[in-house]
Amino acid sequence: MKRKSELTNLYFLEMNLAQKMNKDEYFRIMHNYVQYYYKRANLYKIWYLSLSVTKLLILAMIPVSQTFAGLSALPWIAAGASSLCIPLESVTELFRMKEKWVLYRKVGNDLMREGRQYAMKAGGYQDGDEEKNFRVFVTNAENIINEESSSWKQMIQNIKSEKV
């Protein structure tokens, strides 16, 4: 996995080369972005679902454990089990796993949709020459990525406002 500084350097290198970039290079970069967004979406999906299922199983075991005579005499088992759910829920909310999963998936889907429309000359790409369509595609793809960045900023501001 690339370090953050390597990704930042790659980003600025891509920005500097954007003027000289051909279509194949741009599509390679877009392909890398789509892979990145889907990998992040899957990572947060797995973590979110794993923690949620674990929490549900623990909560479901509490009433079951109280039906057994030997375990019902030990109230700390129910208290301990329910106490395990607090950090699980806290981690899920602290890292906004569900929101990030949905955000990354949406951006990946939007980029894929834009690529399909461009390839099939559909949507906003059915009129105009190839060069114009490519410029429109680049603008649309960059706007999608920029919207993701804006969504991140909004998410951070919401977190900060909730702490106040």
Q: Write out pLDDT tens, residues 96-139.
A: 999 999 999 999 999 999 999 999 999 989 987 898 999 999 99
- In this structure, the chain runs to a length of 164
Q: Which residues contact 101 (CB under 8 A, 6 or more apart)?
A: 41, 44, 45, 48
pLDDT for 84: 94
> pLDDT-derived band of residue 86, with 50, 70 and 90 as boundaries?
very high
What DSSP line would sit under 5-69, residue for residue?
HHHHHHHHHHHHHGGG--HHHHHHHHHHHHHHHHHHHHHHHHHHHHHHHHHHHHHHHHHHHHHSH
Q: How far apart are CA 90 and CA 56, in angstroms?
A: 14
CA 13 to chain CA mean position, Å: 24
Residues 10-50 have pLDDT tens digits of: 555 555 555 567 899 999 999 999 999 999 999 999 999 99
Long-range pairs for 93-100 at CB < 8 Å and ≥24 separation? Answer: 95/44, 95/47, 96/155, 96/159, 97/44, 97/47, 97/48, 97/51, 98/44, 98/48, 99/155, 100/40, 100/41, 100/44
**pTM summary value:** 0.79
Q: In the 8-state DSSP scheme, what is residue 124?
A: G
